[in-house]
Structure 1
Amino acid sequence: MGYKIFISHAWADRWLASQIERRVRALGAETFMDTNDIEKGDDIEDRIFTELPKCDELFALFTPWAIDRNWLWVEIGAARGLGLRIVTALYSVALSTIDAERGGLAFLKAKNAVDINDLESYFDELKDRLEKVRP
Structure 2
Amino acid sequence: MAYKVFISSSSRDSDLARDLAKRLEKAGLYVIMPSKSIEAGADVVARIRDEMRKASEVIVIMTNNSVHSPWLLFEMGYATSLGLHLTPLVQGVEPKELPEIIKQMEYVKYSDLDRYIARLQERGRESSQSAA
Q: TM-score if structure 2 supplies the norm length?
A: 0.88
Partner of 2:86: 86
The letter of the residue matching 1:40 is: A
Aligned length: 129
Partner of 1:7: 7
Output the CA distance in 2 between the equivalents of 1:95 and 1:29.
Answer: 28
2:23 is the alignment partner of 1:28: no
Output the CA distance in 2 between the equivalents of 1:44 and 1:23.
Answer: 26
Output the CA distance in 2 between the equivalents of 1:95 and 1:53.
Answer: 30
Is this contact kept in 1: 2:34–2:51, CA < 8 A?
no
Match of 1:105 among 100, 108, 116: 100
Q: TM-score if structure 1 supplies the norm length?
A: 0.86
Please identify runs of 4+ aligned residues in structure 1 that moved more than 4 A: none
Partner of 1:43: 43
Deviation, structure 1 residue 131:
1.8
Match of 1:121 among 97, 115, 119: 115
Partner of 1:63: 63
Deviation, structure 1 residue 2:
3.0
Is this contact kept in 2: 1:95–1:105, CA < 8 A?
no
Mind listing any 5+ residue stretches in structure 2 that lack a counterpart?
Answer: none
Output the CA distance in 2 between the equivalents of 1:82 and 1:27.
Answer: 25
Is this contact kept in 2: 1:59–1:86, CA < 8 A?
yes
Is this contact kept in 2: 1:3–1:30, CA < 8 A?
yes
Deviation, structure 1 residue 34:
2.2
Mind listing any 5+ residue stretches in structure 1 that lack a counterpart?
Answer: 99-103
Change (3 A) 1:39 1:15: same
